[in-house]
């Protein structure tokens, strides 16, 4: 699926355009993301971090920040034993994060007061059923 027009329009400013696509290969490899995955398409085109008027979550950039998707995903995989299918999209400074499931495409709102265990055990329902459903709402 192509990037939805609503997102293209919202992020049309040059500041959001990814200028360093060549460095994404290692990040995609570590995360287990294929560039044609909706998440891969989005981050190949755009760089963050992003803020939304619809959410209190800051959507991180994949690599280009002190706190990044790659770094936070590495932490939860190593310390909380998240399976490789899960990618942390947001800052871990709060009590919860947004997590992308590479296998189903769903996005989960995961708190660290039991929600993390429910996610790992497969008992947490996604808040959004797909990357683009999430992104359209986040950027609207």
| pLDDT band, very low/low/confident/very high, at 54 (cuts 50, 70, 90) | confident
Q: Are 132 and 140 in contact (CB under 8 A)?
A: no
| pLDDT band, very low/low/confident/very high, at 1 (cuts 50, 70, 90) | low
Q: What residues contact 78, with CB distance under 8 A and at least 6 apart?
A: none
- Owner of token pair 């660290």: 112
pLDDT tens digits, residue range 92-112?
888 899 999 999 999 999 999
Taking 70 as the threshold, does the pLDDT of residue 116 lie above it? yes
Q: What is the pLDDT of residue 19?
A: 86
Model pTM above 0.85: yes
Query: Edge-to-edge strand order for the sheet containing 107-111?
Result: 86-88, 96-101, 107-111
Chosen CATH of 5-138 out of 3.90.1640.10, 3.40.1260.10, 3.40.1580.10, 3.30.1360.70 = 3.40.1580.10
Helix ranges (H only) for 1-140 are 5-10, 24-31, 38-45, 69-79, 115-121, 131-138
In the chain, where are the structural domains located? Answer: 5-138
Which residue from 1, 72, 88, 9 is spatially nearest to 41, judged by alpha carbons?
Answer: 1
Taking 90 as the threshold, does the pLDDT of residue 33 lie above it? yes
């Amino acid at each position: 699926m192509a990037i939805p027009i609503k997102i293209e329009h919202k992020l049309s400013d040059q500041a959001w355009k990814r200028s360093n696509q060549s460095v994404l290969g290692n990040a995609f490899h570590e995360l287990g993301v294929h560039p044609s995955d909706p998440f891969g398409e989005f981050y190949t085109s755009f760089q963050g971090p992003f803020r939304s008027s619809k959410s209190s979550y800051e959507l991180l950039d994949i690599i280009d920040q002190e706190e990044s998707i790659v770094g936070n995903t590495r932490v939860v995989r190593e310390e909380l034993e998240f399976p490789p299918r899960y990618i942390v999209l947001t800052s871990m400074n709060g009590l919860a994060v947004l997590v992308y499931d590479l296998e189903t495409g769903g996005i989960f709102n995961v708190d660290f007061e039991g929600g993390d265990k429910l996610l790992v055990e497969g008992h947490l329902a996604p808040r959004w059923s797909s990357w683009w459903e999430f992104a359209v709402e986040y950027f609207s």
